[in-house]
Amino acid sequence: MSSTLNSLLESKGIRFFRTDKISLDNYYYEPFQDDKESFEENKVFETEAVDVKKLKPFEGTLFSYFLDGSRKPYKIGDMITTDNKFAPVVAGQVGAACCKRVNKEMHRFSHIQKNYVLFYDSINTDDFTDIKKAYNRTIHFPIEVDKYSFDRMKDEAPTNAAVARIHKMMQDIEIEMINLVVGKRCLSTDSMLVIDGSLQFMSQKFDPRIFYNVIGISKSFNPNLTGVLKGKKQIGVLLANLDFGERTAVYKYNTEQRKYTIGAWYLRIRSKIHIRNPLDGIIKIEKMAMEDEKENGFDTSMIDNISASILGEIYPTCHGKDSRWNNHLYPIYLTEKYLKSKFMSDLLFTSAF
């Protein structure tokens, strides 16, 4: 942190302590995004009664666009506020990238990246305005100054609350990117967008219709969810028995804030001979239900086509380059690599503070 800003903080009665700058990705991990969800117990969320269904790889593909969001949070110091609160100062690089596949080649479609530094929100408004102005004069790359809040009833620690705030900023950028792709009329039923991760944008404001030709694919998920068709077994018990090419039925998720309706199903994309753990090679797929699907569920033939198309995406692999290779789709892997290549190195970014 620059000496100019350090002096400014002191002039506002805020004490700042330099600490070793650490990447919080190495210390704090996000919980499963479906951690607080429950399944609809009454019926499957598709037009046909499905238990487990075997599929063959799709010839061709339904997917043309691939989106990944990422964030790199860092603790850069600690502060003592004028009301005697002790809290970390956290900075972060946040971005999203979308790549387009044309004739089996991946190309950059769009990239959005922002940098943030977050202070604990007990700073009064006038002092915070002065800090933002000073920061714009002292930092040699674009950075936005913002606040994070800490609720002792909800958050385990202030650092976790700051990382959660940065994660929300990443989701905001992902929504911005989806709006960009949809706004350019790029998507159709045979040229869909795949998002790396869940569609659980719980706190974001958006029009669900932008997800009409969008699916989310999660490499990790909560295996302990229960309530599938009134069953007492946890979902991981069912998934461990899936063979290559088999999918579950589509389940309706009751999201915590019920802002929208999501259908989710699971698909094994790797043979059991290629796995080390029982849930390796299984992905979770999510799709946002539109108005006509919220009550009746998704058309089973559409779910089959999406699942079969995903099976057609499993080669080549990133084996030897990413430990998550057996849950990874190669176009998503390439998009992720492109996005992370645009981040500044940890040393370069944190040296500005």
Residue 254 has pLDDT above 80, yes or no: no
Q: Is 185 left (phi over 0), alpha (psi -120 to 50) or beta?
A: left
Confidence of residue 229 (pLDDT cuts 50, 70, 90): low
Confidence of residue 134 (pLDDT cuts 50, 70, 90): confident
Pairing assessment for the beta strands 192-196 and 63-80 based on DSSP bridges = parallel
Q: Please tell me the predicted confidence (pLDDT) of residue 28.
A: 58
Lowest-confidence range among 47-56, 75-84, 229-238, 291-300? 229-238
Write out the E strands in the chain: 15-23, 38-39, 52-54, 63-80, 86-102, 105-120, 144-148, 192-196, 214-218, 246-248, 251-254, 262-268, 282-288
Can you read off the two tokens belonging to residue 67? 């989106």
Residue 31 has pLDDT above 70, yes or no: no
Residue 38 has pLDDT above 80, yes or no: no
Residues 55-79: tens digit of each pLDDT: 999 888 999 999 999 999 999 889 8
Residue 255 has pLDDT above 70, yes or no: no
Average pLDDT over residues 333-352: 93
Secondary structure class of 155 (helix, strand, coil): coil
Residue 213 has pLDDT above 60, yes or no: yes
Confidence of residue 308 (pLDDT cuts 50, 70, 90): very high
Average pLDDT over residues 104-114: 96
Q: Please tell me the predicted confidence (pLDDT) of residue 19.
A: 80
Q: Please tell me the predicted confidence (pLDDT) of residue 9.
A: 76
Q: Please tell me the predicted confidence (pLDDT) of residue 21.
A: 84
Q: Please tell me the predicted confidence (pLDDT) of residue 332.
A: 97
Q: Please tell me the predicted confidence (pLDDT) of residue 46.
A: 93
- High-pLDDT (> 90) share of the chain, %: 52
Secondary structure class of 250 (helix, strand, coil): coil
- Confirm if 301 and 290 have CB atoms less than 8 A apart: no
Lowest-confidence range among 45-49, 136-140, 321-325, 341-345? 136-140
Residue 193 has pLDDT above 90, yes or no: yes
Q: Report the alpha-carbon distance of residue 290 to residue 283 in Å, rounded.
A: 23
Confidence of residue 307 (pLDDT cuts 50, 70, 90): very high
The string over 186-214, giving b where at least 16 C-beta atoms fall within 10 Å of a residue's C-beta and e elsewhere, is bbeeeebbbbbbbbbbeeeebebebbebb
Residue 296 has pLDDT above 90, yes or no: no
Q: Is 243 exposed, middle or buried (0-12, 13-18, 19+ CB in 10 A)?
A: exposed
Can you read off the two tokens belonging to residue 189? 């039923």
Average pLDDT value over all residues in the chain: 87
Q: Please tell me the predicted confidence (pLDDT) of residue 16.
A: 85
Start-to-end Cα distance in the chain: 3
Q: Please tell me the predicted confidence (pLDDT) of residue 127.
A: 82
Largest CA distance in the chain: 68
Q: Is 308 exposed, middle or buried (0-12, 13-18, 19+ CB in 10 A)?
A: buried
Q: Report the alpha-carbon distance of residue 258 to residue 214 in Å, rounded.
A: 19
- Confirm if 264 and 44 have CB atoms less than 8 A apart: no
pTM: 0.91
